[in-house]
Structure 1
């Protein structure tokens, strides 16, 4: 190699090492992550994470992040175990000795007592502690995560970045995406479009998942087409605060569910029977054709665990043996 060649090689090597060093620095600490309330700089990898959102807790467990305590929902319910943790990851929580902070209403004192070095808050939903965000920020760095416009993969990727568990997050996402791609090739779709919903009790109130919801994104990735309620009866996305659901109630339930197939999230066989026997839905195509499918009670909020269960349920329903 002549001198010009050696000089050119040296320059290239210098550039490569420089950019490699920058990349390594960007992946180290301190690092800045983008939350729903703006950027948050973290000086070191957190070791004592407290989640005020039971929805986000599952994603932390999935990537082996050091979450030590979490808010909870009502225990021994259709969705939750005796601790008030979602059933799809309740056993994992017990194995990790996850502590229940409180049930329902957020409690800043309970959070502070755990001496966290990172606090997670959901921006929307019934498990949101957004009103306490400023107070919690005085205790420890507080990351606000908006999960109503993201897939669960987006959420877990963000949490991996915030906790230093990027590798675990990427592994979970890849394994799931590979499984999802295989299912897409094998699935026989039911009549389209589909109304994907949470059927509440006797059907007086229904939450329809939008294309921006984690549930809607997953279905679309599998090739499903989402049916939207007519614009004239849409009551906004949860009074304009949420992007993942459209709320239907009263007389709008029947006319708002326009899909040829109903997919019942957070639903079981009893839920399906409630839909099929509802007199206000008797003329809906999906009901008349008995295209009503429950997708399991754990599909209410999607994380790695519930999304994996959902794939298994869809495979059982729509892949011909």
Structure 2
């Protein structure tokens, strides 16, 4: 090859490489198309002012360092929420980052618009969903509809990371948790299997049973727990077909569905476990007769990085090997 031909060849290779890298950078950068259950949205640049209408999703956004400026809230000053109505497991992080409260409970489009968001995130299901305001909010900023009832918090973190340009942060926090999870799995013994994982109603007459698809169910299975199979007659009870994470139980259906050899109570402390143990309606359950009822902590109603980490700590305390 002559020197001139070599220069032409080198120039062509350099051009092809530059085009390849430019194409890769564009694909990985912005504008970015995000698929949602409401169709695709396009983000022209990386979001700088994210509003989360879902108090459940906010915790995962904070864990991946997404720029959340405001969030919906739940009723304040109780076992699960601080004075702002933010979940206690991440309320202090939100305070440090200056996250504003949008509203308590009922979504408010005016409050959302007042935050001048460049991305609005809505839960597809659950009590903190603002889906009914979708059309109104779409006129303010791109709206990303997210489901959290059919995936682990890690999967949710990955999805949100891709949408907000925080892929690296999401991968980092998932890896940190995975390492801790592996450590706990080695450190604990499993109580008698299978287990029923549930939220026990304050009235003692109702419960929500976590399914294998729920974040709680997935985390337990990752740790080696086996979820008790639900009787066939409960197959159509998945919260009227709207949710994948819970089966609603009430009255006479409770004992039949809470059939695990061990009961794990979520959004619960030791007093809740004791309350279940003394419920005469549930006295014949194998787990009750053997005193195998354990509380997973008040903050496990919704799992994010913070509450899931607390749950690992609780499991380690309860089932540590000697």
TM-score range, shorter chain: over 0.9
Q: Distance in 2 between matches of 1:291 and 1:20?
A: 58
Asked if the contact 1:202/1:274 (under 8 Å) is kept, the reply is: no
Q: State yes or no: 1:206 paired with 2:207.
A: yes
* More displaced stretch, 99-108 vs 32-41: 32-41
Q: Distance in 2 between matches of 1:14 and 1:316?
A: 60
> Residue 69 of structure 1: SS of its match in structure 2?
strand
Q: Partner residue of 1:68?
A: 69
Mapping of residues 165-204 of structure 1, within 5 Å: 165-204=166-205
User: How many pairs align?
Assistant: 320
Q: Partner residue of 1:285?
A: 286
Q: Distance in 2 between matches of 1:165 and 1:256?
A: 41
* More displaced stretch, 196-205 vs 230-239: 230-239
Q: Distance in 1 between matches of 2:37 and 2:244?
A: 14
Q: State yes or no: 1:134 paired with 2:135.
A: yes
Deviations 1:54-108 (A, max 9, x none): 0011111111111111110000122111110000001111111111110000011
> Residue 192 of structure 2: SS of its match in structure 1?
coil
Q: Distance in 2 between matches of 1:23 and 1:262?
A: 50
Asked if the contact 1:203/1:253 (under 8 Å) is kept, the reply is: no
Mapping of residues 149-298 of structure 1, within 5 Å: 149-298=150-299
Deviations 1:135-191 (A, max 9, x none): 111110000000000100111111111111111111000010111122222221111
Q: State yes or no: 1:305 paired with 2:306.
A: yes
Q: Partner residue of 1:97?
A: 98
Q: Partner residue of 2:29?
A: 28
Q: What TM-score does the superposition give when structure 2 sets the normalisation length?
A: 0.93
> Residue 127 of structure 1: SS of its match in structure 2?
coil
Q: Distance in 2 between matches of 1:167 and 1:188?
A: 33
> Residue 316 of structure 1: SS of its match in structure 2?
helix
Distance 1:291 1:139, change over 3 A: same
Q: Distance in 1 between matches of 2:173 and 2:139?
A: 33
> Residue 46 of structure 2: SS of its match in structure 1?
coil
Distance 1:284 1:17, change over 3 A: farther
Asked if the contact 1:235/1:248 (under 8 Å) is kept, the reply is: no
Identify unmatched segments of 5+ residues in structure 2.
Answer: none
Q: What displacement does 1:27 show?
A: 1.3
Q: What displacement does 1:12 show?
A: 8.7
Q: What TM-score does the superposition give when structure 1 sets the normalisation length?
A: 0.94
Q: What displacement does 1:245 show?
A: 0.4
Distance 1:150 1:8, change over 3 A: farther
Q: Distance in 1 between matches of 2:293 and 2:15?
A: 62
Q: Distance in 1 between matches of 2:169 and 2:142?
A: 22
Q: Distance in 2 between matches of 1:45 and 1:309?
A: 31
Identify unmatched segments of 5+ residues in structure 1.
Answer: none
Two-structure CA RMSD over aligned residues (Å): 2.2
